[in-house]
Structure 1
Amino acid sequence: MTKLPRILLAPGLEASRIVTGLWQVADQEREGRVLDHAAAAAAMAEYADAGFDSFDMADHYGGAEQIFSRFRLADGQAQVFTKWVPTPGPMTREVVREGVGRSIARLGCIPDLMQFHWWSFHHPAWLDALREMAAMRAEGALHHIGVTNFDTDHLRVAVKQGIPVATNQLSFSLLDRRAAGDMSAFCLAHGVKLLAYGTLGGGFLSERWLGREAPAEIADWSKMKYRRFIAAMGGWDAFQRVLRAAGEIARRHGVSLSNVATRWVLDQPAVGAVILGARLTEAEHRADNLRLFSFALDAEDHERLGHAFAATTPIPGDCGDEYRRPPFLTASGDLSHHLDSLPKAYTATEFRPGRLRVDSGSTWESLCGYSRAVRVGARILVSGTTATHTDGSVVCPGDAAGQAVYVLDKVAAALEALGGTLDDVVQTRIWLRDANDWEGVGRVHGRAFATARPANTLVEVARLVGPYLVEIEAEAVVDAV
C-alpha cells in the first residue's frame, strides 16, 4: 500500500495530508437516489489501498457513515473524521451524548476526530455542547475534538474556554483566501490545525475551465456554492486571471492545474491537511492527487499568483460566514430556509400593549427589575450586557476581546427575538475595566457592526459589577416593513 505524507494534527492524532472527503455522497443520494453501499465501500477500499486512508464525513452526508462502517468491517484499517451538526437548542448531557452517539453507532467505532458544527452563534448552547464533548473525551468516549466553519472570534472563545480543539475545518483555496489572515495567525499561536476543503473550488480550479466562458447553468450543489465565491472575488474575469497564473505554473512543473491549486493550500503554515472530495463509484483522481508531492512552489510561482490575486476582491467576512447567512448553500443543498426556522435563544413577551421585552433567565432581571431588552415601537434598547453564560459562569475570564464576542452574540440574540438585527443598531456604549483592552474589543465591535457602523462611546471605568472586563449596551431602530 502506498503511504502518503502524514502530519501530527494533535498529540495522538496523525493523519494523511490528503483526506478523502465524502460530502458528495449527499449529492449522489439526493432526490431519493441511494448509492450501492457495497460498491461504495469497495471504492473506499481502493482509496485506502492507494494510500488515501483518511476519510472525512458527517451525519448529514447521506449514507457516508454507514458506507464507512461497511468498508471498515470488510477491510479494517482506515482513519475516520466525522461531524455532529445539531439544530441549535438546549445542549444537555443527554442531547449531546445521544447526538454524538448516533454517529458512533453508524460508524461502528469511535471516530478519530469528532467535529462540531453550529449554525448560529447567537444561540449560546454551542458552548454547552463543546463542554460536554470535552467531558466525553476526558472519559475516553471520544478521541479528539474538532470544529467546522468556526470564525476566528468564536474559535478564540472555544480555545479560551479550555476546549481541546485540535482542528478547524473550513474553506481555503485560490478563490477563498480568508483563512490566510487572522485565522491562520490564531491557529499557529494556539496549536490548532486547519483542515482545508474547497481547495479545487468544486472543480472550477482545473484545466477544464481555463479560457472557458462562464457557465449559464450549474447542475450540482458543489459548483453552485463555489460559483458564488467566484462572483465575490471579482467575477469570471478575475477568476480567469488566477486560473491562467496557476496554469502557467502547472506547465512549468509538469503537473496539473489542480495540483498547483491544492499545493498552494497545503503549503499554508496553519494547514494540516487538505480534504479532496470523492464521488464513490463514479470517478477518482488518485493518481493525479499523488503528484502533489512531486514538486514544490518556489518564489517565482508565488509572485505569479500574487499578481493574479492583486486583481481580485477579498472575500468579505471571516471563515465560515457563508454558512450563517443566505444563500446558505452547503453539501446538503440550499438550506436558506433554516435561517428563519432556527430556534431563537430568547422569547419575546408583550408586557403591555405595544411593548415587548426579552428576559435571558438571569435571576437578577426580576430581582433588580430590568429586562435584557425592550422594544417600544421601532426602537429596541438592549441593557448593558456581560459575558455571563446561561449557567452563571463567566465566559473567557481574563480575555476582554473574547468576552466582547460572547456579549455581542447575546445582544444579537436579544435583537432577533424582538424583530431586529445587528444591522439595525444605531448606538452602542462600551465600558472597559482596562483601557488597554480597547483595540481587541474595538476590533470585535468593528467586525460585528461592519455594516451598521453605529454611533459609539467607549470609556474606561474604575470597575464593573462582577469579574468582567467589558460591558456593552445597544440601541436599535427597526425599519418599517
Structure 2
Amino acid sequence: MTAAPLRHAISNELEISRLVTGLWQVADIEKDGELLDPEKAADHLETYFNAGFSTFDMADHYGSAEIISGRLLARHQNARRPQICTKWCPEPGPMTAEIVRTGVQERLDRLGTDCVDLLQFHWWSFEHPAWLDALHEMTRLKEEGLIRSLGVTNFDAAHLRLALADGIPLATNQVSFSMVDRRALGQLSELCASSDVKLLAYGTLCGGFLSDRWLGKEEPRDLTDWSKMKYKRFIDATGGWAGFQRILDAAAEVASKHQVSLANVATRWVLEQPAVAGVIVGARLGESEHIADNAKLFSFSLDVEDQKRLDQAFRTTQNVPGDCGDEYRRPPFLTASGDLSHHLAEMPLAHDAAPVDQRPGAIRVLTGSDWEEIAGYCRAHKVGDRILVSGTTAVAGLSRAVAPGDAAAQATYILDKILAALSALGASAKDVVRTRIYIVDEDDVLDISKAHGRVFSDIKPANTLVVVAGLIGDHRVEIEAEAVLVDSKSVSD
C-alpha cells in the first residue's frame, strides 16, 4: 500500500487535509476562565496551516476555538485558505426553523464568515425525534449557501442510515476511532462503503496515551487533563492497562521497523481504514506542537505483516461497550467526568406523563399528534405495573412517513419513539416483555429484525412478527410494545 494522499474530497464542495488539527484542548486550557489571546493563538494555527495541515476541527463548546479560527480565516481571504469544521451541539428539545438558524448563525458570527465549510451536528438522545427536524432545517440552510458540507458526530450506523434514508445529504460522520476503540470497523464502515459518507476519526491517539511516552510506564492514577481522563476510561473499558500495554508493544515494533513514532503508527492504522477520510489530532496551542512528527505519517504505510502484528494485540483486549456514540448516550459514560455533567445539566424527557382522570392511578403519554385527538388514543398507557404502547409508525410532523423506502430505518425511528414513551413513564427497554411487529414485505424481515435486535438483543422480550396486507401510506412497519415495572412506583409519586 502506498502512502496516503495529503488531501481528500469529502464532497463536491469541500476538500480537506487528511490530518485534521483538532482544537478541543482549547476548552481544557481555558477551563479556569482565562481565555487565550485570539491573535496569538491564531499564530499557532498559522504554523499548522503553513505546514500543509490546513483543516481545523472545533465545536460550539470548545472554548474560544471558533473565534481563534475566525482570526486565522480573516488572514486568508483567497483560494488558498483554511478549511473550518465546527459542530453545533444543542440541548435536546424542539428544533424549529428559528432555533436551527440561530444556532448556525452563531457559528458563522464567531467564525466571522458567511459560510462554514463543514457544519457537524451532534444530538444527545435519539429518543428526542427533533434531531431529524434539525437536520432537515440545516439542509435548507445548506441550500441557501450558509453551509458548504453537512456532517454529523457520534452517530451509530442505525441512525446514520436513518438520516440518509430520510434524504439528509450527509458528507461525514465524526466518531471515536483508534487502535483502542475499534467500534467503527463494523456496521458503520459497512454503511460508509455503500454510501457517500466518510468518517472523520477523533481520539486516534487516545488523548496522547497512544504514544512512546506511555510505553512500559506504570498506570497513571491522578489525571487532571480532560482528554486523558476521558480516554483512560476507554482503556479501562477494554480490559485495563495490561492489555493496553500489549497494543503499545505491538505498535512500537511496527514503528521501529518503519523508523517512525508509535503515534505515527496509531494514526496511520486509522487513516488506512477505507471509510476514513481524515484523522483528527489535537493541538495544545503554544505547549506541544508535533508538526514535524505528524508529517512522517505520509512517509510510510502498513503492510500485511504489520496488520497481523497489530491484530494479534487487538485480540487480547475487549471491545468498547455499545455502538459508536454510546459513550455520550448511555452508561457507562466514557467521558472525562464519567457522566454528562460537563455537557448537560440533565437529559430532558421527550414527553411528559399525565394522570388519566377516568382511571384513578393510571398515567398516559401524549405526543401532541393530531391523530391522538382525532382517533382518541395515547402513545402509551400505564396501569399499575403494566405499560401498553400503541402501535407506532415512523411519522414526523403531522403525517410525513420517515425514510419511506427503508424498513430498517423506519424500525429504528419507531423504536426510539417507543423508548421515549417508556422513559416518560419511568421505564426503559429492559422493562419490555413483549413486542409485536407488523410488516408489509417479507423481504424486510431480516433488516427489521436486526433493528429490533439492536435494542433488545440482551433483553429478549416475547415477540410476534407478521406480514400484513398493507399499512397506511408509505409505512413499511408498525410496532407495539408491552412493559412491566417490577416494584415500581408511579412517576407521579
TM-score strictly above 0.5:
yes
Partner SS, residue 144 of structure 1: strand
What code does the residue aligned with 2:47 have? E
Aligned to 1:105: 109
**What is the TM-score with the length of structure 1 in the denominator?**
0.96
2:474 and 2:331 map into 1 onto residues whose CA distance is 37
Bigger drift between 255-264 and 23-32 goes to: 23-32
Aligned to 2:91: 87
Alpha-carbon deviation of 1:269? 0.2
Cα distance per residue 1:70-124 (max 9 Å; x no partner): 2222455211111111111111111100110001001011211011111111111
Aligned to 2:436: 429
Alpha-carbon deviation of 1:455? 1.5
Contact 2:431–2:484 at 8 Å: present in 1 too?
Answer: yes
2:463 pairs with 456, 462, 466, which one? 456
2:186 and 2:19 map into 1 onto residues whose CA distance is 22
Bigger drift between 3-12 and 262-271 goes to: 3-12
Alignment of 1:244-323 (within 5 A): 244-323=249-328
| Cα distance change, pair 19–189 in 1 and its aligned pair in 2 (3 A) | same
What code does the residue aligned with 1:71 have? L
2:435 and 2:244 map into 1 onto residues whose CA distance is 39
1:361 pairs with 360, 364, 368, which one? 368
What code does the residue aligned with 2:217 have? R
Contact 2:283–2:289 at 8 Å: present in 1 too?
Answer: yes
2:121 and 2:310 map into 1 onto residues whose CA distance is 33
What code does the residue aligned with 2:276 have? V
Partner SS, residue 31 of structure 1: coil
Alpha-carbon deviation of 1:135? 0.8
Alignment of 1:177-256 (within 5 A): 177-256=182-261
Aligned to 1:52: 53
Q: Is the counterpart of residue 33 in structure 1 residue 34 in structure 2?
A: yes
What code does the residue aligned with 1:59 have? D
**What is the TM-score with the length of structure 2 in the denominator?**
0.94
Alignment of 1:64-83 (within 5 A): 64-76=65-77, 77-83=81-87
Partner SS, residue 427 of structure 2: coil
Partner SS, residue 32 of structure 1: coil
Alpha-carbon deviation of 1:153? 0.5
Alpha-carbon deviation of 1:362? 2.0
Bigger drift between 33-42 and 348-357 goes to: 33-42
Q: Which runs of 5 or more structure 2 residues have no equivalent in the other structure?
A: 489-493
Aligned to 1:96: 100
| Cα distance change, pair 327–29 in 1 and its aligned pair in 2 (3 A) | farther
1:64 and 1:374 map into 2 onto residues whose CA distance is 47
Partner SS, residue 167 of structure 2: coil
Partner SS, residue 169 of structure 1: strand
Percent of pairs identical after alignment? Answer: 59
Alpha-carbon deviation of 1:340? 7.2
Contact 1:430–1:471 at 8 Å: present in 2 too?
Answer: yes
Contact 1:149–1:169 at 8 Å: present in 2 too?
Answer: yes
Contact 2:328–2:340 at 8 Å: present in 1 too?
Answer: no
Alpha-carbon deviation of 1:12? 2.1
Q: Which runs of 5 or more structure 1 residues have no equivalent in the other structure?
A: none
Bigger drift between 456-465 and 96-105 goes to: 456-465
Partner SS, residue 190 of structure 1: coil
Partner SS, residue 321 of structure 2: coil
Alpha-carbon deviation of 1:220? 1.2
Contact 1:326–1:336 at 8 Å: present in 2 too?
Answer: no
| Cα distance change, pair 331–164 in 1 and its aligned pair in 2 (3 A) | farther
Alpha-carbon deviation of 1:327? 5.3
What code does the residue aligned with 1:468 have? H
Alpha-carbon deviation of 1:272? 0.2
Partner SS, residue 284 of structure 2: coil
Cα distance per residue 1:296-327 (max 9 Å; x no partner): 10000001011111111122221111111245
1:338 and 1:78 map into 2 onto residues whose CA distance is 28
1:226 and 1:66 map into 2 onto residues whose CA distance is 27
Alpha-carbon deviation of 1:478? 2.2
Aligned to 1:141: 146
Contact 1:384–1:472 at 8 Å: present in 2 too?
Answer: yes
CA-based RMSD: 1.8
Alpha-carbon deviation of 1:226? 1.0
Aligned to 2:486: 479
Cα distance per residue 1:44-80 (max 9 Å; x no partner): 1111111111101111100001111122224552111
Cα distance per residue 1:251-290 (max 9 Å; x no partner): 0110000000000000000100000000111111111000
Cα distance per residue 1:447-467 (max 9 Å; x no partner): 111332212111212222343
What code does the residue aligned with 1:461 have? V
Aligned to 1:121: 126
| Cα distance change, pair 438–398 in 1 and its aligned pair in 2 (3 A) | same
Partner SS, residue 105 of structure 1: helix
Bigger drift between 207-216 and 252-261 goes to: 207-216
Alpha-carbon deviation of 1:341? 2.1
Aligned to 1:467: 474
2:99 and 2:226 map into 1 onto residues whose CA distance is 30
Partner SS, residue 32 of structure 2: helix
Bigger drift between 308-317 and 114-123 goes to: 308-317
Alpha-carbon deviation of 1:37? 2.2
